[in-house]
Structure 1
């Protein structure tokens, strides 16, 4: 099981990491909210252990953004705050459980195991466009019988386009839904990632399912090479 620990107190983060590794978990660390959010978006984890009081982005901001992105990885909040009100607040913004500092490793391990044992939600329906199949539950993609490896961001972009199959999605809409409303990079990042996707899901198969609609955005549909207007943007 892969666990992401987002904790700005480096000594505590290392101690938590060593304690979890001693119990068989694979652990990665982040020491601020921005880095933690990036790691959680780009890689697959079985659970995120998230401190509330973080630099750059707070734990609450990280949690809210992940949920807004459609990332439902279990999140265990760590905080020095006490009381039922604080605990309810953590659960209200999308966390799955709450653990107050100081805590014992025995309790931390028990809480993590309980989260990981919880019944999974109903399995989402596969998204299908022609012979391109995206499985939201397994986070897998295949063209016919050939599996395709995508990064988390590439997967999120493809999932969004496939959910809107046949409709044109503007760059602004894609940025809001895939990168988040607070994303402050240039819109051309969408073109870059569309290019990445085309090189993985279309070019190796001689297809052109992602189309550029000049002046409007992108759409995905059944392969129609004659309608592909751009291979890079």
Structure 2
């Protein structure tokens, strides 16, 4: 049913999308596996890219042929260069993006990337031969073979959501956790630990008095992230959309 791939990437967050694009653009037959095709490259509750240290990383990814900088430039609604009061070495680009446009642009660019296939399913285990990963086992029981497997599962591996004193399994709210891989990795000798992220409480905008707040404007001079000519890309994208 499935061909043998050069690379299988598990998880379609930003890291998984970049890994899949990098492998495919280098000529490897690549499969990107995600639990939900509708949430490829979904941004967090704070739809921002870049910031102190992270902004430099996005530009380094762009310099190596990655997509994050291009897509951020195409979807941004505000851009600011942080730390302008300090020397240029400390300047850090940050953009607020339209979450829907950001994910849509990622999907479009991935679909236009040669050598890249998509599959929707949960990965519950790895195929191991001679202490080497040689494929995956999906929740539906499919075995898909590959020369290499890249895991970019993020918070979904045995994910736990904490709300007050309540805890329940999940990768994000209303999305189930991925199980199976963690236990297998531990059995293979890997250490498992947990990274806790913090999500601020949601505030109903109707309960706020915006007249008492200070507006934080974006920069008039939008430098952006990508070294590509994203103005031309934006015009091309708008023409295609129209």
TM-score range normalised by the length of the shorter chain:
under 0.3
Work out which structure has the larger RCO, using CA pairs closer than 8 Å and 6 or more positions apart in sequence: 2
Provide TM-score, normalisation by structure 1. Answer: 0.25
Provide TM-score, normalisation by structure 2. Answer: 0.24
